[in-house]
Amino acid sequence: MSQTRHIPVMLQRCLDLLAPALEDPAHPEPVVVDCTLGLGGHSEALLAAFPTARLIALDRDKEALRLSGERLAPYGDRATLVHAVYDELPEVLARLGVPKVQGVLFDLGVSSMQLDEADRGFAYAQDAPLDMRMDQSTGMGAAEVLNTYPPGELVRILRAYGEEKQAKRIVSAVVREREKEPFSNSARLVELIRDALPQAAKRTGGNPAKRTFQALRIEVNGELSVLERAIPAAVDSLAVGGRIAVLSYHSLEDRLVKQVFAAGAANTAPPGLPVVPERYQPRLKQLTRGAELPTEEEVAENRRAAPARLRGAQRIREEER
Protein backbone atom coordinates (compact mmCIF):
# COMPACT_ATOMS: atom_id res chain seq x y z
CA MET A 1 0.00 0.00 0.00
CA SER A 2 1.63 3.21 -1.11
CA GLN A 3 1.18 5.96 1.42
CA THR A 4 1.91 8.60 -1.21
CA ARG A 5 -1.51 7.96 -2.75
CA HIS A 6 -3.25 8.70 0.55
CA ILE A 7 -4.39 12.33 0.60
CA PRO A 8 -6.11 13.39 3.86
CA VAL A 9 -9.47 15.06 3.15
CA MET A 10 -9.96 18.81 3.91
CA LEU A 11 -6.71 18.68 5.85
CA GLN A 12 -5.88 22.39 6.15
CA ARG A 13 -9.46 23.27 7.11
CA CYS A 14 -9.41 20.63 9.89
CA LEU A 15 -6.12 22.05 11.22
CA ASP A 16 -7.50 25.61 11.08
CA LEU A 17 -10.64 24.61 13.00
CA LEU A 18 -8.65 22.92 15.78
CA ALA A 19 -5.76 25.44 15.91
CA PRO A 20 -7.18 27.96 18.43
CA ALA A 21 -7.63 25.19 21.01
CA LEU A 22 -4.25 23.56 20.32
CA GLU A 23 -2.35 26.88 20.41
CA ASP A 24 -4.05 28.24 23.55
CA PRO A 25 -1.35 29.46 25.99
CA ALA A 26 -3.53 28.17 28.86
CA HIS A 27 -2.73 24.62 27.65
CA PRO A 28 1.00 24.54 26.83
CA GLU A 29 0.89 20.74 26.25
CA PRO A 30 -2.50 20.16 24.62
CA VAL A 31 -3.91 16.69 23.99
CA VAL A 32 -5.61 16.03 20.65
CA VAL A 33 -7.45 12.80 19.76
CA ASP A 34 -7.67 11.41 16.24
CA CYS A 35 -10.60 9.01 16.63
CA THR A 36 -10.11 7.53 13.15
CA LEU A 37 -6.38 7.09 12.61
CA GLY A 38 -6.49 5.19 9.29
CA LEU A 39 -3.20 5.71 7.46
CA GLY A 40 -2.27 8.56 9.78
CA GLY A 41 -2.43 11.49 7.36
CA HIS A 42 -4.43 13.78 9.64
CA SER A 43 -2.48 12.58 12.71
CA GLU A 44 0.90 13.30 11.12
CA ALA A 45 -0.26 16.78 10.13
CA LEU A 46 -1.52 17.48 13.67
CA LEU A 47 1.82 16.46 15.19
CA ALA A 48 3.74 18.56 12.65
CA ALA A 49 1.52 21.65 12.93
CA PHE A 50 1.29 21.70 16.73
CA PRO A 51 4.77 20.79 18.04
CA THR A 52 3.79 20.84 21.74
CA ALA A 53 0.69 18.66 21.28
CA ARG A 54 0.35 15.08 22.42
CA LEU A 55 -1.68 12.85 20.10
CA ILE A 56 -3.90 9.93 21.09
CA ALA A 57 -5.08 8.03 18.00
CA LEU A 58 -7.68 5.24 17.81
CA ASP A 59 -8.40 2.66 15.14
CA ARG A 60 -10.19 -0.67 15.15
CA ASP A 61 -8.08 -1.92 12.22
CA LYS A 62 -4.82 -3.53 13.37
CA GLU A 63 -3.21 -3.18 9.94
CA ALA A 64 -3.94 0.58 9.98
CA LEU A 65 -2.30 0.83 13.41
CA ARG A 66 0.78 -1.01 12.16
CA LEU A 67 1.22 1.18 9.07
CA SER A 68 0.52 4.41 10.97
CA GLY A 69 2.90 3.34 13.71
CA GLU A 70 5.71 3.31 11.13
CA ARG A 71 4.62 6.67 9.72
CA LEU A 72 4.39 8.36 13.13
CA ALA A 73 7.52 6.74 14.62
CA PRO A 74 9.61 9.93 14.18
CA TYR A 75 7.32 11.67 16.70
CA GLY A 76 8.25 9.18 19.43
CA ASP A 77 6.19 9.25 22.61
CA ARG A 78 4.17 12.28 21.47
CA ALA A 79 1.92 9.77 19.68
CA THR A 80 -0.03 7.07 21.52
CA LEU A 81 -1.81 4.62 19.17
CA VAL A 82 -4.66 2.52 20.59
CA HIS A 83 -6.56 -0.46 19.14
CA ALA A 84 -10.13 0.62 19.90
CA VAL A 85 -13.43 1.60 18.30
CA TYR A 86 -14.09 5.33 18.64
CA ASP A 87 -17.06 4.96 20.99
CA GLU A 88 -14.53 3.54 23.48
CA LEU A 89 -12.91 6.99 23.81
CA PRO A 90 -13.97 7.54 27.48
CA GLU A 91 -12.39 4.18 28.52
CA VAL A 92 -9.21 4.91 26.52
CA LEU A 93 -8.79 8.35 28.12
CA ALA A 94 -9.47 6.97 31.60
CA ARG A 95 -6.89 4.22 31.06
CA LEU A 96 -4.30 6.79 29.93
CA GLY A 97 -5.11 9.10 32.85
CA VAL A 98 -6.27 11.96 30.61
CA PRO A 99 -9.26 13.76 32.18
CA LYS A 100 -9.99 16.26 29.35
CA VAL A 101 -8.61 16.99 25.87
CA GLN A 102 -8.23 20.16 23.79
CA GLY A 103 -9.07 18.72 20.38
CA VAL A 104 -10.92 15.80 18.75
CA LEU A 105 -10.98 14.86 15.06
CA PHE A 106 -13.20 12.29 13.33
CA ASP A 107 -12.71 11.31 9.68
CA LEU A 108 -15.59 8.86 9.25
CA GLY A 109 -16.17 6.22 6.59
CA VAL A 110 -13.76 3.79 5.02
CA SER A 111 -10.04 4.48 5.07
CA SER A 112 -8.08 4.62 1.82
CA MET A 113 -6.20 1.51 2.87
CA GLN A 114 -9.38 -0.53 3.28
CA LEU A 115 -10.65 0.58 -0.13
CA ASP A 116 -7.32 -0.06 -1.81
CA GLU A 117 -6.70 -3.53 -0.35
CA ALA A 118 -8.68 -5.71 -2.73
CA ASP A 119 -9.07 -8.68 -0.38
CA ARG A 120 -11.02 -6.67 2.22
CA GLY A 121 -14.18 -6.58 0.05
CA PHE A 122 -15.05 -2.89 0.61
CA ALA A 123 -14.84 -1.85 -3.02
CA TYR A 124 -17.42 -2.84 -5.64
CA ALA A 125 -15.03 -2.09 -8.51
CA GLN A 126 -13.02 -5.31 -8.03
CA ASP A 127 -13.89 -8.88 -7.13
CA ALA A 128 -13.02 -9.82 -3.55
CA PRO A 129 -14.35 -11.85 -0.62
CA LEU A 130 -17.40 -10.09 0.84
CA ASP A 131 -15.92 -9.20 4.23
CA MET A 132 -16.05 -5.43 4.94
CA ARG A 133 -15.06 -5.75 8.61
CA MET A 134 -12.83 -2.87 9.70
CA ASP A 135 -11.51 -5.10 12.47
CA GLN A 136 -11.01 -8.50 10.88
CA SER A 137 -10.50 -10.19 14.23
CA THR A 138 -14.12 -9.91 15.32
CA GLY A 139 -17.76 -10.04 14.21
CA MET A 140 -19.53 -11.29 11.09
CA GLY A 141 -18.61 -10.26 7.56
CA ALA A 142 -20.86 -8.98 4.78
CA ALA A 143 -21.30 -12.43 3.18
CA GLU A 144 -22.75 -13.80 6.42
CA VAL A 145 -25.18 -10.86 6.62
CA LEU A 146 -26.33 -11.46 3.03
CA ASN A 147 -26.64 -15.22 3.51
CA THR A 148 -28.36 -15.34 6.90
CA TYR A 149 -30.43 -12.20 7.55
CA PRO A 150 -34.22 -12.50 7.02
CA PRO A 151 -35.43 -10.68 3.86
CA GLY A 152 -37.29 -8.00 5.84
CA GLU A 153 -34.16 -7.15 7.82
CA LEU A 154 -32.07 -6.88 4.62
CA VAL A 155 -34.65 -4.52 3.10
CA ARG A 156 -34.55 -2.38 6.26
CA ILE A 157 -30.74 -2.17 6.17
CA LEU A 158 -30.59 -1.23 2.47
CA ARG A 159 -33.24 1.45 2.94
CA ALA A 160 -31.95 2.87 6.24
CA TYR A 161 -28.20 2.71 5.66
CA GLY A 162 -27.96 2.84 1.86
CA GLU A 163 -31.00 5.00 1.14
CA GLU A 164 -31.64 2.46 -1.63
CA LYS A 165 -35.05 2.98 -3.24
CA GLN A 166 -34.87 -0.40 -5.00
CA ALA A 167 -34.18 -2.34 -1.77
CA LYS A 168 -37.07 -4.79 -2.24
CA ARG A 169 -36.03 -5.72 -5.78
CA ILE A 170 -32.42 -6.25 -4.76
CA VAL A 171 -33.30 -8.32 -1.68
CA SER A 172 -35.73 -10.53 -3.66
CA ALA A 173 -32.89 -11.30 -6.07
CA VAL A 174 -30.44 -11.92 -3.18
CA VAL A 175 -32.83 -14.33 -1.45
CA ARG A 176 -33.47 -16.21 -4.69
CA GLU A 177 -29.73 -16.51 -5.45
CA ARG A 178 -28.54 -17.38 -1.95
CA GLU A 179 -30.83 -20.43 -1.94
CA LYS A 180 -28.96 -21.73 -5.00
CA GLU A 181 -25.53 -20.91 -3.58
CA PRO A 182 -24.42 -18.71 -0.63
CA PHE A 183 -22.71 -15.43 -1.49
CA SER A 184 -18.96 -15.23 -0.96
CA ASN A 185 -17.55 -12.65 -3.41
CA SER A 186 -18.36 -9.08 -4.36
CA ALA A 187 -18.51 -9.50 -8.17
CA ARG A 188 -21.52 -11.81 -7.98
CA LEU A 189 -23.38 -9.29 -5.80
CA VAL A 190 -22.52 -6.38 -8.13
CA GLU A 191 -23.79 -8.36 -11.13
CA LEU A 192 -26.99 -9.32 -9.30
CA ILE A 193 -27.69 -5.67 -8.43
CA ARG A 194 -27.12 -4.58 -12.04
CA ASP A 195 -29.57 -7.23 -13.23
CA ALA A 196 -32.17 -6.43 -10.54
CA LEU A 197 -32.41 -2.68 -11.12
CA PRO A 198 -34.68 -1.08 -13.71
CA GLN A 199 -32.87 0.76 -16.54
CA ALA A 200 -33.76 4.22 -15.21
CA ALA A 201 -32.21 3.48 -11.80
CA LYS A 202 -28.95 2.39 -13.46
CA ARG A 203 -28.52 5.68 -15.26
CA THR A 204 -28.14 7.85 -12.14
CA GLY A 205 -25.73 8.17 -9.25
CA GLY A 206 -22.62 6.24 -10.28
CA ASN A 207 -22.17 2.51 -9.71
CA PRO A 208 -25.56 0.92 -8.98
CA ALA A 209 -23.98 -1.26 -6.27
CA LYS A 210 -22.70 1.74 -4.30
CA ARG A 211 -25.69 2.12 -1.96
CA THR A 212 -25.95 -1.60 -1.17
CA PHE A 213 -22.22 -1.83 -0.38
CA GLN A 214 -22.49 1.24 1.88
CA ALA A 215 -25.46 -0.30 3.71
CA LEU A 216 -23.68 -3.63 4.25
CA ARG A 217 -20.53 -1.89 5.48
CA ILE A 218 -22.47 0.20 8.00
CA GLU A 219 -24.33 -2.90 9.26
CA VAL A 220 -21.20 -5.08 9.49
CA ASN A 221 -19.29 -2.46 11.49
CA GLY A 222 -22.24 -1.08 13.48
CA GLU A 223 -21.12 2.33 12.29
CA LEU A 224 -24.18 4.42 13.07
CA SER A 225 -24.84 2.94 16.51
CA VAL A 226 -21.14 3.42 17.34
CA LEU A 227 -21.29 7.01 16.07
CA GLU A 228 -24.43 7.73 18.13
CA ARG A 229 -22.39 6.96 21.25
CA ALA A 230 -19.08 8.36 20.03
CA ILE A 231 -19.94 11.98 19.15
CA PRO A 232 -21.58 12.82 22.53
CA ALA A 233 -18.71 11.02 24.31
CA ALA A 234 -16.16 13.07 22.37
CA VAL A 235 -17.98 16.33 23.23
CA ASP A 236 -17.97 15.27 26.91
CA SER A 237 -14.21 14.68 26.74
CA LEU A 238 -13.47 18.26 25.65
CA ALA A 239 -12.14 20.79 28.11
CA VAL A 240 -13.81 24.21 28.03
CA GLY A 241 -12.34 25.93 24.95
CA GLY A 242 -11.66 22.56 23.34
CA ARG A 243 -12.72 21.95 19.74
CA ILE A 244 -14.10 19.04 17.72
CA ALA A 245 -14.04 18.60 13.92
CA VAL A 246 -16.00 15.83 12.19
CA LEU A 247 -15.74 14.78 8.53
CA SER A 248 -18.75 12.75 7.34
CA TYR A 249 -19.24 11.09 3.96
CA HIS A 250 -22.97 10.39 3.77
CA SER A 251 -26.13 12.11 4.92
CA LEU A 252 -26.86 9.63 7.74
CA GLU A 253 -23.55 10.37 9.49
CA ASP A 254 -23.80 14.09 8.85
CA ARG A 255 -27.37 14.25 10.21
CA LEU A 256 -26.26 12.56 13.42
CA VAL A 257 -23.34 14.96 13.93
CA LYS A 258 -25.60 17.93 13.12
CA GLN A 259 -28.14 16.83 15.76
CA VAL A 260 -25.53 16.42 18.53
CA PHE A 261 -23.92 19.81 17.77
CA ALA A 262 -27.30 21.59 17.48
CA ALA A 263 -28.50 20.11 20.79
CA GLY A 264 -25.27 21.18 22.51
CA ALA A 265 -25.55 24.71 21.10
CA ALA A 266 -29.18 25.15 22.18
CA ASN A 267 -30.51 27.01 25.18
CA THR A 268 -32.56 24.38 27.08
CA ALA A 269 -34.34 26.72 29.50
CA PRO A 270 -38.13 26.54 29.87
CA PRO A 271 -39.71 29.48 28.01
CA GLY A 272 -40.42 32.70 29.89
CA LEU A 273 -37.55 32.72 32.41
CA PRO A 274 -36.37 36.33 32.96
CA VAL A 275 -32.80 35.13 33.60
CA VAL A 276 -31.51 31.86 32.14
CA PRO A 277 -29.67 29.82 34.82
CA GLU A 278 -26.20 28.51 33.95
CA ARG A 279 -27.35 24.89 33.68
CA TYR A 280 -29.63 25.76 30.74
CA GLN A 281 -27.02 27.73 28.79
CA PRO A 282 -25.54 26.19 25.61
CA ARG A 283 -22.39 24.13 26.22
CA LEU A 284 -21.28 24.20 22.57
CA LYS A 285 -20.70 26.89 19.98
CA GLN A 286 -20.97 25.77 16.35
CA LEU A 287 -17.90 26.77 14.31
CA THR A 288 -19.24 26.02 10.84
CA ARG A 289 -22.32 27.42 9.13
CA GLY A 290 -24.04 24.18 8.24
CA ALA A 291 -21.67 21.60 6.78
CA GLU A 292 -18.61 22.87 4.90
CA LEU A 293 -17.75 21.21 1.59
CA PRO A 294 -14.37 20.55 -0.03
CA THR A 295 -13.24 22.99 -2.71
CA GLU A 296 -13.53 22.12 -6.40
CA GLU A 297 -9.71 22.05 -6.56
CA GLU A 298 -9.51 19.49 -3.78
CA VAL A 299 -12.14 17.24 -5.37
CA ALA A 300 -10.25 17.44 -8.69
CA GLU A 301 -7.08 16.34 -6.89
CA ASN A 302 -8.70 13.71 -4.64
CA ARG A 303 -12.01 12.25 -5.80
CA ARG A 304 -12.57 10.60 -2.40
CA ALA A 305 -13.08 14.08 -0.95
CA ALA A 306 -16.18 14.69 -3.11
CA PRO A 307 -18.87 13.55 -0.62
CA ALA A 308 -17.11 15.02 2.46
CA ARG A 309 -19.04 17.27 4.87
CA LEU A 310 -17.17 19.03 7.69
CA ARG A 311 -18.71 20.34 10.93
CA GLY A 312 -16.92 21.89 13.88
CA ALA A 313 -17.89 22.92 17.42
CA GLN A 314 -16.26 24.39 20.50
CA ARG A 315 -16.92 23.51 24.14
CA ILE A 316 -17.90 26.76 25.89
CA ARG A 317 -19.24 25.55 29.23
CA GLU A 318 -18.61 22.75 31.72
CA GLU A 319 -21.40 20.23 32.26
CA GLU A 320 -23.22 20.68 35.55
CA ARG A 321 -23.56 17.31 37.21
- On whether 69 is known to bind a ligand per the annotation, the reply is no
Taking alpha carbons only, the member of 231, 245, 233 closest to residue 32 is: 245
Taking alpha carbons only, the member of 228, 221, 237, 222 closest to residue 313 is: 237
- On whether 61 is known to bind a ligand per the annotation, the reply is no
- On whether 107 is known to bind a ligand per the annotation, the reply is yes
Q: What percent of the chain has pLDDT over 90?
A: 66
pLDDT at position 21: 98
Taking alpha carbons only, the member of 229, 234, 263, 264 closest to residue 246 is: 234
Q: What are the domain boundaries of the chain?
A: 3-113+223-315, 118-220
Least reliable range by pLDDT among 78-92, 165-179, 192-206, 269-283 = 192-206
Identify the residue with better confidence: 157 or 121: 157
Q: With 90 as the cut, is the pLDDT of residue 122 above it?
A: no
CATH of region 118-220: 1.10.150.170
Q: In what order do the strands lie in the sheet with 79-83?
A: 79-83, 54-59, 31-34, 101-107, 238-248, 309-315, 284-286
CATH 3.40.50.150 fits 3-113+223-315, yes or no: yes
- Rounded to an integer, what is the distance from CA 206 to the centroid of its chain? 22
Q: With 90 as the cut, is the pLDDT of residue 136 above it?
A: no
Q: With 60 as the cut, is the pLDDT of residue 308 above it?
A: yes
At residue 181, what is the residue type?
A: E
User: Per residue in 81-95, pLDDT tens?
Assistant: 999 999 999 999 999
Instruction: Specify whether the CB–CB gap between 5 and 67 falls below 8 A.
Output: no
CB atoms within 10 A of CB 98: 15
Q: Is 124 helix (H, G, I), strand (E, B) or coil?
A: coil
- Helix H or strand E segment including 281: none
- On whether 42 is known to bind a ligand per the annotation, the reply is yes
- On whether 314 is known to bind a ligand per the annotation, the reply is no
Q: With 80 as the cut, is the pLDDT of residue 280 above it?
A: yes
User: Per residue in 203-245, pLDDT tens?
Assistant: 666 778 888 998 999 899 888 889 999 999 999 999 999 999 9
CA angle 1, 189, 144 (to 5 degrees): 85
User: Per residue in 25-67, pLDDT tens?
Assistant: 999 999 999 999 998 999 999 999 999 999 999 998 888 899 9
pLDDT at position 109: 66
- Calculate mean pLDDT across residues 300-319: 92
- On whether 59 is known to bind a ligand per the annotation, the reply is yes
**Taking every pair of C-alpha atoms in the chain, what is the biggest distance, in angstroms?**
70
pLDDT at position 318: 86
**Domain 118-220 in the same topology as domain 3-113+223-315:** no
Q: What's the chain's length in residues?
A: 321
